[in-house]
A and B are shown apart, each in its own frame.
Chain A
Amino acid sequence: MRRAAAVSAALAAPADALAQSPAPASATPPSDSSTTATEALTGGRAGSDFMVDTIKALGFEYICANPGSSFRGLHESVINYGANEKPELITCMHEESAIAMAHGYFKIEGKPLAVMAHGTVGLQHASMAIYNAWCDRVPVYLLLGNTLDATMRAPGVEWVHSVQDAAAMVRDYTKWDDTPMSLAHFGESAVRAYKIAMTPPYGPVVIVADSELQERPIEEHHGVLRVPQLTLAAPPQGDSSAVAEAAKLLVAAESPLLIADRLARTPAGLARLIELAELLQAAVISTQPNTLPPIAAGRMNFPNRHPLNQTLRGVAAIAAADVIVGLEIANIYGAMHIFRDQLERTSQPATKTGVKVITITAGDLNVKANYQDFQRYAETDLTIAADGEATLPALIEAVKRLMTPDRRRAFEARGAKLADASRAVLDRARTDAGYAWDASPISTARLAAELWQQIRTEDWSLVNGNLSGWPLRLWNFEKHHQYIGVSGGSGIGYGAPASIGAALANRKYGRLSVNIQNDGDLMYAPGVLWTAAHSKIPLLTVLHNNRSYHEETMHLQRMGNRRNRGVDRAHIGNEIDNPAIDYAKFAQSMGWYAEGPIADSKDLGRSLARAIAAVKRGQPALVDVVTQPR
């Protein structure tokens, strides 16, 4: 409840006025100019109607919000003037959930989803999720309510919920913001914000929708109102001479390696990387969580079973490379070094002497100082500040121009060796999965294998979770929507809402969205489960329930042993047990189909099948699986 200011104003109003219309919180008090019979208490179109015109023109399908009085005008315009269609309002129970839903939605749909929030407390709730989106280069379009004119604020809460510069709090990790002072200004800034958000490198944007602009009758605003035309910027391509130099190095290389991180913004990026890799018969590392190199990021850049995919033997591939190309990689330093976390923390090169390093990333075009998501400085031989996906066609053509029959023969021999190596690591992964096959709690490998058996014939989309890297080893990833990466900022609480946002986007394509959900992550803002049920978003959530903040348990072990105190008490502050949470009942109470806890692997397949059947009926479903720690 954030309507305290409006409620207090209503209580102060005369009973007859209250019966006609709730007193607006920003209205001039009767004591200043007494109410007369001629005072207009109702009006026609309001400023927020024009805001909705603008939002509709930008093509938003949905707008997520936890309700708040500072954007009540806009809220009303969305559902009545806008008929609650394109955008349709999605009721959220936390602003962090709203932003994370937008985050996941974008990575499937390729278009932003809008979010409304209070400029103060709402944005404070939303801030961690905005940081995730920033680190993950995802455009989230945020509209903040605020009352800038102090004389228009209702006494009490409305003052507490007002701010001079609403966007300041997140300016370190948003790409652009503005506080429009007129509706015409709003129109221009709203369109500009969309354009900026959608120009690589993508990023979140904020527009402050002042409550007076929202609530005043539209006639009071100066000038002719029209929504400006949106023209998206073509993404920046690499400098032609730099691209030619990169091609020269690649064609001459004996062991070229392509490392792709957030490369494939669209399915075209995946196709282009395949084309370049096959042309060169080059090794590819397409980062996914918990693989080598140690980079927490990724998009679906390259099929995991492609013979040139060397992700599972990444250390060997990096050590062998004489030319490395980092494609939209956020942490090229981390990819090329082995970090050691002992009493003295050290980094050692993982590459061989003389390796040539090339980076192509739009990340170089938008760096800020305060938050350190830009990672450690890496020494490179050629840096191309441009969008990777947009630059690949020129690089491919440049490589083709340099190809000779001799080089082509050498490439084919190289490709055959890489295919053998790739096949060997995949075979070994399958053998490894068989250890502890019947263990209880259930092994993460068994869970991944059982889940794969249930979904492999479906049009599936893994929208969150990595299950200790087993899906990468045991599943067959081929399509762009089958993997959408991770949170970006490693801010916990991303998984559940982002997967629901991605499932919302997948719904109209009839895909089976799969979320492998960590238990600790779910409990940050679990009200998003209700949102999924309420909005009828089909999603299979499989709980990887190790009953702990397990990562931190391992860190505590490291500290305890380093200090010769042992690990016996490392569970304190980290376990989520005693009592164990009954996630199935919890999900059922919010309208989900749910089963569990499942601790016996023999029960797993049937339970997953029943849950998938519920998802196919249009219901979100959860299976709580008690797992090994990792």
Chain B
Amino acid sequence: MTTTRVLLLVAAITTIGRVMLAAQTQPQPTPPAAAASSIERGRLGFVRVGCAQCHGREAQGSPTTGPRLGPNGLAYQAFARYVRAPRLQMPPYTEKILPDAELADLYAFVQSRPKSATPPPLQ
């Protein structure tokens, strides 16, 4: 019964999206090569700590709830800063509920996501 509240999230998404877009259009420091084990832990953590609920299980993003996070998303420092202290609607994640090591795994996971496939033409 809270469609309106869903819509309130959208405002946040656009701002986050703008930040992400800006990040994508500037040269990004190459992320350290993540170990496969870190990516796998991140995949599981992405669902466990609820990221997937708004950003999708593949971090692909949703127009209504959360932007795409990877690949080629924010640099790690900006990513971590936003997770700890989101500017808009996203729930804040303290280190108590998301330790730094797990946060790094999440980052490894979202950076490892495949690029966009080509969807069918949109006549």
Interface residues, chain A, CB within 8 Å of chain B? 289-296, 314-315, 338-342, 350, 429-439, 441, 443-446, 449-450, 452-453, 456, 466, 468-470, 473-476, 486-487, 490-492, 550-555, 557-558, 560-562, 564-568, 570, 628-630
Closest to A341 in B: B89
Contact B53 A629 (CB under 8 A): yes
Per-residue CB contact flags for chain B residues 110-121 toward chain A (1 = under 8 Å, else 0) read 000111111110
**Which of B8, B62, B115 is packed against the most chain A CB atoms within 10 Å?**
B62
Known A315-B15, A630-B64; 8 more pairs at CB < 8 Å: A290-B10, A291-B63, A339-B8, A432-B60, A434-B119, A452-B122, A466-B64, A570-B50
Complex interface: chain B residues within 8 A of A554 (CB): 9, 53-54, 65
B91 interface contact, C-beta 8 A: yes
B81 interface contact, C-beta 8 A: no
Per-residue CB contact flags for chain B residues 1-24 toward chain A (1 = under 8 Å, else 0) read 111111111111011000000000
Within 8 A of A (CB), among B24-65: 48-50, 52-54, 56-58, 60-65
Contact B11 A564 (CB under 8 A): no
17 interchain pairs, CB-CB under 8 A: A290-B63, A338-B11, A341-B8, A341-B9, A435-B60, A437-B116, A437-B117, A446-B119, A476-B122, A492-B1, A551-B5, A564-B94, A568-B48, A570-B53, A628-B57, A628-B58, A629-B57
Contact A434 B117 (CB under 8 A): yes
Contact A567 B2 (CB under 8 A): no
A516 to chain B, nearest CB (A): 13
Interface residues, chain B, CB within 8 Å of chain A? 1-12, 14-15, 48-50, 52-54, 56-58, 60-66, 68, 86-89, 91-94, 96-97, 113-120, 122-123
Contact A430 B3 (CB under 8 A): no
Complex interface: chain B residues within 8 A of A466 (CB): 64
Complex interface: chain B residues within 8 A of A434 (CB): 116-119
A521 to chain B, nearest CB (A): 10
Given A294-B8, A492-B1, are A340 and B50 neighbors across the interface (CB < 8 Å)?
Answer: no
Give the residue of B7, B66, B91 whose beta carbon is less than 8 angstroms from that of A290.
Answer: B7
Give the residue of B11, B56, B64, B96 whose beta carbon is less than 8 angstroms from that of A443.
Answer: B56
Complex interface: chain B residues within 8 A of A570 (CB): 50, 53
Complex interface: chain B residues within 8 A of A487 (CB): 3
User: CA A291 – CA B64 in complex, angstroms?
Assistant: 7
Contact B96 A292 (CB under 8 A): no
Complex interface: chain B residues within 8 A of A566 (CB): 49, 97
